[in-house]
Every structure is written in structure tokens, then in C-alpha cells.
Amino acid sequence: MTDYIDALSQRELVYPPSSFPSYSNMAYDVLGQIVELKTGKNYSDLIAHDVAHRLNMPRTSLLKPDDSLGVIPTDLANQSWNEDFGWAAPAGAMYSSASDLARFARLVLNDLASFNETSLGLPGQILREWFKPHSYTASNVGFVGLPWEDVRPSIPGLNGGFPFTVHIKSGSLIVYESELAIVPEYGFGLSVLATGGPSGTVRVFEDELVLAFARAVEAKRVQYANDTYAGTYSAAVGNSTAVFELKVADDGLGLELVRWEYGSLDILGILLNPSAPMESAGIVGAPIHQFHQFVRRQSTNATTPVYRLFPTQAFIPDTWRMSVWSPASPATPVTESIFAGNCGEWYGTDAVYYGGQPADKIRFVRDEAGSVAGVEIPWLRLKLAKQAL
């Protein structure tokens, strides 16, 4: 490894460190050697035990499997199939199958929401950090991670028109191409392995498959939200009634608050019109008004807001947070502003408390059968039952 480092030190620096991405396998070559020195084990043995065996990926290996397990359509493919990368093997050159890669994607998706040790052997926090981008590209949709290649497309009809993330790991070796895509917002991953066709074929398949699955999941999650969460919730408040009504947002992103009354107090009306007189609201009106003022200051859109609920994947299941929502389309921002299209609503999360509880927190309550039976608004110390349709 000393000779390798010495050779690298003679190479001309292309960009300053941490400035602009440039593809290279060299760091992974060195990392593989460091892992071997640290563990005292051969890298191929580490892959066999710590990856293939641990994760139940029997077709994944640095060592060439039996030819009967591969697709070798041409002499050129045979040359690639038998390639030995030796010292540079840690940078790639693994053999695997579509089913093994799909299993890896499932493990990742299951583990991303975890707060503890995961199936992959990493704490959930470390796994989530692993998927964060490390550098921009010249494109406004492309980012570079370690080792992920991220794209954040904005597709009409998907994710409310806002960007969603596709984490990609691609590879190619002469006539072999591979793509692994993980899409956390939609909860699916897929792998495409190809050989014998035109260069770039696998990327075309991946593009079509991701969009097809995303649209299918979008339709299902809208249906699930309608069946599970949308509706009217109510509870007795003294001699009056509290009402909390939700619908699935028209663009499918989140639950929209369409009615919120607490006795004679129109809470949603106060949220939408903060200049309304507060005398009749009593102590309840103060946190509502404060919450609205805080989150509206962060919104970059001056139009009349709506309020939506979004799930948080927190420790307590079915916990959602409420946020102001600018109804203007993200695809058509005001152009003469550096803040056009910017999302500032995240400033308001968990910002206003009343009685030790966050004013934006909502928790759905399920019955013994697992169906949503009510909603809890902690800062009001209020539980409302879901009304039958």
C-alpha cells in the first residue's frame, strides 16, 4: 500500500478537496487495504462472512462463481466474467444477483426508520447519514454521496410535484451493467442487471421501472390515507363539541386540515386569519396565534396558506406534525428571487409549546384491530373519536 500511496502523491490534483466531485475508485482501493490490515482478514473473506452470509445474500461474492450461475453471452463477456481485479477489488467487481441486491434494498428500507441497531449492523442514525449527499453537481437534480449517486426529480403527479430522492449505485464493466435504486419516499428499491445489449440499456430500464413503481405506490398510498386517516373526528367539550376534520390533499402530499373547532372557537379560522380578534379564544388562542405567526414568517410564499399534517416516523407510532403549506406549484416559482421555490416551513417544526406539549403535534390512536379510531391533540389534552362514514 505504501507504493500505491507514493504513486498517488505524484498525481496532479484535479480539484481542491471537498470542492467539486470527480469520479475515482482510488479511495475505495485504499479503504479495502485498511480494512484488511485492521481486521487481519482477507477482503474477499470479509465480504463472504460480513456481507453475503450475514445478510443472506448467497450469490454475492468477490470470487467468481461457477459459470453456470452467470450470463455469459459473448467472448467479450467471458473476458469480463473472468477478470481478476486483485488489489483494486474493494472498489467494485463483485458478483451478485438481482435477488441479492433486491434483498439488500429491502433491508435498507426497513432499517432507515430504525433508532437502534439494524439488520445491516449499523445504528439507524449512521445508516441515514450514509444516504446523505456530500457534494453538488452542475445539475439542480444531481448530487453525489459516498458511494451513492443521488437524483431528485420533480415529476408531475408524484410527491405533490416536489422532488423525491432516488439513491442509485451503478456499475459497468465492458459488456456488464448494473443498477441498484432505493427510493425511501416511496418505500421501494429495485435492481437491474444486464449484458449483451446496447450501452446504457440498464439505465433506460431503471428509469421506466422507478417511475412505474412510484406511480403505483402513489395511487396506493393516497387510497390508504383516504381509507385510514381522512374523515371527521369529534369529542365532547363541556356542553359543546370539538371537531377535527381531515382530507387527503388534492396533490396527494399529506393530510389537509379542513375543519378544526373547539367548542365555539374556530381554531382553523384563527390559523388562516391571524388578525382575527383573540378575546373570545381565551388561553387556547394564544398558542394557536403564536404557532401561526411563527410558521408563516418562514413561508416564502405570500399567498393564503393551508395547513397539512405529515408523518414523522418518530418513536411513538402514528405521530404526525402540522405545518403551514404554500399552495403555489413548486414547478412555477417566482423567477426574480433567489428564494423562489425555497422551503422555509421546516423552521416551524416543534417550535411552539403549550403546557409542555408541541402545538404542531398530532397523534392518531388505533383500536385493537389496528384501525384508526381517533386522534389525540396533546397540547389541548384532547382525544377525539373518528366518526363512522
d(Cα 258, Cα 272) in Å, to the nearest integer?
11
Cα atoms found within 13 Å of the Cα of residue 198, Cβ hemisphere only: 5
CA distances (Å), origin 112, targets 85, 168, 315, 346: 32, 16, 13, 21
pLDDT at 327: 56
Average pLDDT over residues 62-86: 91
Amino acid at 55: L
3-state helix, strand, coil in the chain (%, to 5): 35, 25, 40
The number of beta carbons lying within 10 Å of the beta carbon of residue 141 is 12
DSSP state of 91: G
pLDDT at 40: 94
pLDDT at 372: 97
Q: Is the dihedral of CA 196, 197, 203, 208 positive or negative?
A: negative
DSSP state of 182: E
* Crossing angle (nearest 10°) for helices 26-39 and 2-9: 150
CATH architecture of the domain with range 1-224: 3-Layer(aba) Sandwich (3.40)
Residue 78 C-alpha cell reads as: 467471458
Average pLDDT over residues 73-84: 90
Peptide bond between residue 73 and the one before it cis (omega within 30 degrees of 0): no
Q: 252 or 286: whose pLDDT is higher?
A: 252
Summarised one tens digit per residue, pLDDT across range 219-254 is 999 999 999 999 999 999 888 999 999 999 888 789
Average pLDDT over residues 336-355: 77
78-84-87 Cα angle (round to 5): 160
Query: Is residue 326 within 8 Å of 283, Cβ to Cβ?
Result: no
Confidence of residue 87 (pLDDT cuts 50, 70, 90): confident
d(Cα 268, Cα 281) in Å, to the nearest integer?
12
Coil, strand or helix: which one is 384?
A: strand
Average pLDDT over residues 130-139: 92
Query: Is residue 350 within 8 Å of 358, Cβ to Cβ?
Result: yes
What average pLDDT does the structure give for the chain? 87
Decide: residue 274, CB within 10 A, 0-12 exposed, 13-18 middle, 19+ buried.
middle
d(Cα 211, Cα 335) in Å, to the nearest integer?
28
d(Cα 216, Cα 306) in Å, to the nearest integer?
27
- pTM value? 0.88
Domain extents in the chain:
1-224, 230-386
Query: Is residue 153 within 8 Å of 63, Cβ to Cβ?
Result: no
Confidence of residue 279 (pLDDT cuts 50, 70, 90): low
Peptide bond between residue 156 and the one before it cis (omega within 30 degrees of 0): no
